[in-house]
């Protein structure tokens, strides 16, 4: 008779992305073991932490089963870690970014120097240039580039999970706003998207977008200024209208946004999830937390997955239609408790120009998603629907950044 081996739980993974976290876990481990060498780091994933001042502590900890990624470690300690069963991933040379970064991005990091130089000189543009040139690299460089971008996206995903679980994006449900990049500042569609972001954040949601220009920028802007009256939002829209499109000059477009940020330096926390895959679409400056990925497929999936409070789809073209039906596919096969509401804004657009709404209704017939698909004409209606569907699950307390 064959016996089935007993199943054991997977080892606990402890994500450590700061020296403070390392000190806290090390102190706890050593206290449990009374300071003896038996204190274990099994399951510790330490990322982008300068540990050169912690050699004495590391000598007291058993390294088997631990992982160190992009950490600064003294040479003899690094050899001890490797010899004791730790995986130590070194820095990858020639990168304009940290493959093991321990935080999400911020606008001032990605656009550092935009006030004095051109967009082409800022970190965001330099990373895009690296990502586009790697396609023609030799085999060895291409392998390093693929490894670096994959490790980077993994790190960003972990940091985003942490922020949503118990960090600065944990105070309310996330609601996604999807829309095209072509809406120009100063136009009615841009203003509509900004008012939608304002209404959603004012209602207590955390607004999440694809982090780019157009409707995405507008929604992030509205959310950022949601603690202030609509007259302030209108003033900001007027300031941005002087540089209506990134297609004319990304530098001018970015500097106009910087002027708005400098005018109102603190705003409501909100999220942008852009990608370097679309390098011609720069990230907007009004997302306080930016989870930027190299892989667009990963970025799209993450954006849809994290928006537990629902998704609002503004008028858009192929990209927005793709997002509608990617979300619809997940809802179609989802269990009753896992389905997020879908609200399409623009009756004429989604029934005549691009008639996605009738097809959605047919897909939803007899499914759990059936009562969670809505079509409206005004942003305020979308916010009201999502407040009702979330049944009081909004804290009403908004984070500031």
> Would residue 285 count as lying in a domain?
yes
> Would residue 399 count as lying in a domain?
no
Identify the pLDDT of residue 299. 94
Reduced to 3 states (helix: H, G, I; strand: E, B; else coil), residue 50 is: strand
**Do 138 and 217 fall within a single domain?**
no
How many domains does the chain divide into? 3
**Do 36 and 111 fall within a single domain?**
no
**Do 134 and 71 fall within a single domain?**
no
CATH code of 244's domain: 3.40.50.450
> Would residue 96 count as lying in a domain?
no
Identify the pLDDT of residue 280. 83
> Would residue 172 count as lying in a domain?
yes
Identify the pLDDT of residue 211. 97
Identify the pLDDT of residue 391. 66
> Would residue 145 count as lying in a domain?
yes
Identify the pLDDT of residue 267. 97
**Do 230 and 354 fall within a single domain?**
yes
Q: How far is CA 174 from CA 8, 303, 305, in A?
A: 35, 10, 10
**Do 77 and 199 fall within a single domain?**
no
Q: Which residues of the chain have pLDDT under 70?
A: 1-11, 33-38, 134-140, 391-401
Residues 6+ apart with CB under 8 A from 304: 176, 311, 323, 326, 327, 330
Identify the pLDDT of residue 10. 47
pLDDT in tens, 33-73: 554 556 899 999 998 899 999 999 999 999 999 999 989 99
**Do 76 and 139 fall within a single domain?**
no
Identify the pLDDT of residue 324. 96
> Would residue 208 count as lying in a domain?
yes
Q: How far is CA 139 from CA 144, 145, 151, 153, 295, in A?
A: 9, 10, 18, 21, 20
Residues 6+ apart with CB under 8 A from 320: 178, 179, 180, 313, 314
Burial of 10: CB neighbours in 10 Å, binned 0-12, 13-18, 19+:
exposed
Domain of residue 302: give its range: 155-389
Helices (H) and strands (E) in the chain, counts: 15, 11
> Would residue 4 count as lying in a domain?
no
């Amino acid at each position: 008779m064959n016996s089935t081996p007993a199943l054991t739980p997977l080892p606990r993974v402890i994500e450590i992305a700061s020296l403070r976290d390392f000190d806290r876990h090390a102190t706890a481990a050593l206290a449990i073991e009374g300071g003896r060498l038996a204190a274990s780091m099994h399951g510790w994933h330490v990322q982008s932490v300068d540990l050169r001042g912690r050699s004495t502590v590391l000598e007291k900890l058993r390294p088997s089963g631990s992982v160190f990624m992009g950490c600064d470690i003294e040479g003899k300690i690094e050899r001890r870690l490797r010899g004791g069963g730790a995986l130590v991933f070194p820095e990858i040379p020639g990168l304009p970014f940290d493959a093991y970064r321990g935080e999400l991005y911020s606008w001032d990091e990605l656009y550092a120097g935009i006030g004095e130089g051109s967009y082409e000189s800022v970190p965001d543009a330099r990373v895009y240039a690296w990502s586009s040139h790697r396609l023609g690299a030799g085999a060895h460089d291409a392998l390093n580039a693929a490894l670096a971008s994959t490790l980077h996206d993994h790190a960003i995903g972990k940091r985003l999970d942490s922020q949503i679980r118990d960090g600065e994006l944990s105070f309310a449900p996330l609601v996604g706003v999807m829309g095209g990049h072509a809406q120009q500042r100063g136009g009615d569609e841009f203003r509509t998207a900004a008012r939608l972001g304002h209404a959603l954040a004012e209602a207590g949601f955390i607004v999440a977008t694809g982090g780019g220009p157009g409707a995405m920028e507008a929604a992030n802007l509205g959310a950022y200024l949601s603690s202030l009256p609509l007259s302030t939002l209108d003033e900001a829209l007027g300031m941005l209208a002087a540089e209506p499109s990134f297609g004319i000059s990304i530098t001018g477009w970015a500097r106009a946004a910087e002027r708005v940020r400098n005018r109102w330096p603190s705003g409501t926390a909100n999220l942008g999830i852009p990608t370097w895959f679309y390098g011609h679409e720069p990230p907007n400056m009004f997302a306080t937390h930016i989870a930027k990925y190299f892989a667009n497929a990963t970025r799209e999936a993450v954006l849809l997955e994290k928006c537990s409070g629902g998704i609002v789809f503004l008028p858009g073209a192929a990209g927005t239609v793709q997002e509608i039906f990617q979300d619809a596919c997940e809802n179609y096969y989802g269990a009753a408790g896992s389905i997020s509401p879908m609200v399409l804004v623009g009756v004429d657009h989604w029934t005549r120009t691009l008639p996605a709404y009738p097809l959605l209704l047919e897909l939803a017939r007899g499914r759990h998603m059936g009562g969670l698909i809505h079509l409206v004409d005004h942003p305020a209606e979308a916010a009201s629907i999502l407040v009702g569907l979330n049944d009081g699950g909004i804290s009403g307390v908004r984070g500031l950044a």
